[in-house]
Structure 1
């Protein structure tokens, strides 16, 4: 009788241990699923954040990414340059070859900018046929050279939907020197934009450096 009770007790303990193990396994599986779901949500959120800062047509940074980078810019430890670009007579391409060709041109321009920009530069399509390059660490000489490379690279011949085409760009450049206590992102953008329109008025297809003055 005692042996039977002991055997029954062992079975009960084993059954309880087995049930506890099953319970713990189910808890672990549920936790793993939750972790997987959380990771999937986080990955999805990162992908959405990345997509929200990417230009759908060209694949480079968009206006939102550009604005955020400008807001975070600081020349405290190094010079900081901004180049604003506007394709000259872009509407003529659309009118002559169609909007599909115009879109193709914008994509090729973005690709060409990537070949002349330096490591660490941000290339963005700000809107329409307007682009920008944020060049941290680029001093006056480096910014001028970058602008010259941009103008020359964009002026090279294109094939748009099997049709030969030409394009040029005007560029406005402004540099803030390291340690400039009067630096303000919006003032820097305004100075580069004024230089861009000066390039347009001077005949297009050129880079002009903003006159030296405070960007406060």
Structure 2
């Protein structure tokens, strides 16, 4: 075989590997990220939770539900709603950058989660999760410019923490969900309360 033919075959083979690697990365992103926000999706959350559980780590979950999101979509349209969702995603990603074990996730619609890994056990872990929840509620509460309008963005955050390596993700999400809705109910009972509750 000539040297030229060998070089051509090696270049073709390398190009094929590059294309295959690129396609694999694209498929991985489609499987594990939300296409609108670029955050991890529910499947990625389940995988990260399982890894933390196998390692015997205490895991916290923050569940964030945006307030009055349907009204934003109804009044300003889905373009405004998508802008708000991307804003929240950026704020959650920024929060995660400052907390190395946080994984921000878009679950569906206007519901987001943040997995907190390697928390201290017991009440100390819950206090830390609640601190993260307050930080998230403050971080997302920045108005979003849409044309000449400023869209108010607030949300309610529920927090739950598992004992080291013990809880199931579904159970943890249910507890965080119950706490989030309890926070919404308290706020509706007292309309003068500050928006962006943490439960």
TM norm structure 1: 0.76
Structure 1 residue 160, shift from structure 2 partner: 2.3
Aligned counterpart, 1:120: 101
Structure number with larger C-alpha Rg: 1
Q: Tell me the residue number matched to 1:189.
A: 173
Residue 25 of structure 1 and its aligned partner are, at CA, apart by 4.8
What secondary structure does 2:107 align onto?
A: strand
Contact 1:105–1:160 (8 Å) recurs in 2: no
Rounded to whole Å, the distance in 2 between the matches of 1:108 and 1:186 is 27
Residue 202 of structure 1: SS of its match in structure 2?
Answer: helix
1:164 aligns with 2:150: yes
Please provide the CA RMSD for this pair: 2.1
Name which of structure 1's ranges 27-36 and 135-144 shifts more when overlaid on structure 2.
27-36
- Corresponding residue of 1:13: none
- Alignment partners' CA distance in 1, 2:17 and 2:112: 37
2:17 partner SS: helix
**Aligned match for 2:127, one of 141, 144, 150:** 141
Q: Deviation at 1:133?
A: 0.3
Equivalent residues in 2 for 1:171-210, closer than 5 Å: 171-178=157-164, 180=165, 182-203=166-187, 205-208=196-199
Matches of 2:117 and 2:147 in 1, distance apart? 36
2: distance between equivalents of 1:49 and 1:169? Answer: 30
The alignment partner of 2:170 has SS state of: helix
Is this contact kept in 2: 1:125–1:132, CA < 8 A? Answer: yes
- Aligned-partner Cα distance in 2 for 1:200–1:75: 34
With a CA cutoff of 8 Å and minimum separation of 6, indicate the structure with the bigger relative contact order. Answer: 2
- What is residue 72 of structure 1 aligned with on the other side? 51
Say which SS state the counterpart of residue 187 (structure 2) adopts.
coil
Q: What are the residue-to-residue correspondences of 1:79-118 with 2, within 5 Å?
A: 79-117=58-96, 118=99
Distance in 2, Cα, partners of 1:156 & 1:46: 33
Residue pair 1:157, 1:167 contacting (<8 A) in 2 also: yes
Alpha-carbon spacing, 1:70–1:145, altered in 2? closer, same or farther (3 Å): same
Partner SS, residue 156 of structure 1: coil
Q: CA deviation at 1:68?
A: 2.5
CA contact (8 A) 1:101 1:161 kept: no
Gaps of 5+ in 2: 120-124, 189-195
Aligned residues: 185
**Deviation, structure 1 residue 77:** 4.2
Higher mean C-alpha deviation, range 141-150 or range 107-116: 107-116
1:58-94 per-position Cα deviation (integer Å, ceiling 9, x unaligned): 1211233223323333175432110111101111111
Find the counterpart in structure 2 of residue 17 from structure 1: none
* Runs of at least 4 residues off by over 4 Å: none
